[in-house]
A = this chain, B = another copy of it.
Amino acid sequence: MLSKEQILAALSHVNDPELHRSLTDLKMVRDIQISGGSVEVTIALTVPNCPLKAQIEADVRAAISGLPGVEAVHVKMTAMTEEERQAIFGKPKEGAAAAYNHVQRVIAVMSGKGGVGKSLVTGLLATALAQQGYKVGVLDADITGPSIPTLFGLHGPLEPGPVGIRPVESALGIKVMSMNFLLEREDQPVIWRGPLIGSAITQLWGDVYWGDLDYLLVDLPPGTSDASLTTLQSLPVNGIIMVTTPQSLASMVVRKAVHMAQAVNTPIIGVVENMAYFTCPETGKRHDIFGASHSAEVAQAAAAPILVQLPIDPQVAAMCDAGKIEAVSLAETPALLNAFLEVVPVTK
């Protein structure tokens, strides 16, 4: 005869795939009905719209089916109430999600200068990493001028996770979080002074359920004020990619960011030169439309290699506008990916 104890014992070996704790430990197993060889079990998900519902159901079915004498398994799903969730995870408090976030490498994409393509570099690199099977997140730290949601074609509303808010997932499974997901309209301004900007960034880290990631790329806004300072001081940033454009003017401002990174002791792992040139589609000739490159000055100040030079490509601009950065195929991306993986490798 099958017993409830046998079923519970079997389920004690099934883990919640996000939380890495067993279903019995998380008090997710609610009701067990045994009738001959037929078992009906009710599982309470931590949140109603758990995206891993199907996987949990399959794991439960497999664990119970393996018991001797089981002929049929019925899995019913329900969701925990707020009180039940709090009994397990505690009252939601600021930064609580951080304890559940296991990120191998946090890399900030920085520039100091605006409009040089920080978000483009972040998006291209995140895409290339995801295509190689890495688990990737993108934290958009540009609170007042976010570009990331547009590039990936993503929007809110946000769903709660077991702890904290769940990031929005892109087509390739990149976990993305941006202030713009919290706004009613994408062109609504966020008229906040620095202290609020700083605390918004710490919340996008500590109140968001990032889970297990190989790489979290943090897309910084221009400037060396609150957003950059809070990111480099409050987030566990392992390294910085510095983005620049050929102009000497850009190089001067980007070197300010380089010196800031050095002042707060965060290593710069490499420099990306964006908008390096434009190839005329008719003549095939390369035009240095922003003049001769001064990126070497940035690389020298940063004591870091130039990882890649990216061209201006009207097609890329159009795809970014259309939210299709994951479909951009740029000849230079593999070079960027390889150079990046060489300087910040992780174990998949």
Contacts and interface: CB of A to CB of B under 8 A. Distances in A.
Interface of A: 112-116, 143-147, 150-151, 186-195, 197-198, 221-226, 229, 245, 247-249, 252-253, 255-260, 263-264, 278, 280-283, 285, 287-292, 294, 301, 312, 314, 317-318, 320-321
A339 to B, nearest CB: 24
Contacts of A301: 187
Contact of A282 (B113, B114, B285, B318): B285
A198 B187 contact: no
Contacts of A247: 317, 320-321
A287 to B, nearest CB: 7
Contacts of A224: 144-145, 189-192
Given A189-B260, A193-B226, A290-B317, 5 more contacts: A151-B249, A191-B264, A247-B320, A278-B287, A292-B318
Nearest to A147: B249
Nearest to A116: B115
B186 A252 contact: yes
A193 B245 CA distance: 26
Contacts of A257: 189
Tell me the number of copies of this protein.
2
B225 A193 contact: yes
Contacts of A223: 144-145, 221-223
B222 A145 contact: yes
- At the interface, is chain A mostly helix, strand, loop or mixed? loop
A274 to B, nearest CB: 10
29 contacts: A112-B189, A113-B115, A115-B115, A115-B116, A144-B222, A144-B256, A145-B253, A147-B249, A187-B256, A187-B258, A188-B259, A189-B224, A189-B256, A190-B224, A191-B224, A191-B264, A193-B195, A194-B197, A197-B225, A221-B222, A247-B321, A248-B321, A249-B320, A280-B287, A288-B314, A289-B312, A289-B314, A290-B314, A291-B314
A68 to B, nearest CB: 60
Given A223-B223, A224-B144, A290-B317, A189 B248 contact: no
Contacts of A291: 314, 317-318, 321
Nearest to A180: B252
Contact of A229 (B116, B193, B259): B193
Given A193-B229, A222-B221, A249 B144 contact: no
B282 A289 contact: no
B225 A192 contact: yes
B259 A189 contact: yes
A225 B320 contact: no
A288 B278 CA distance: 11
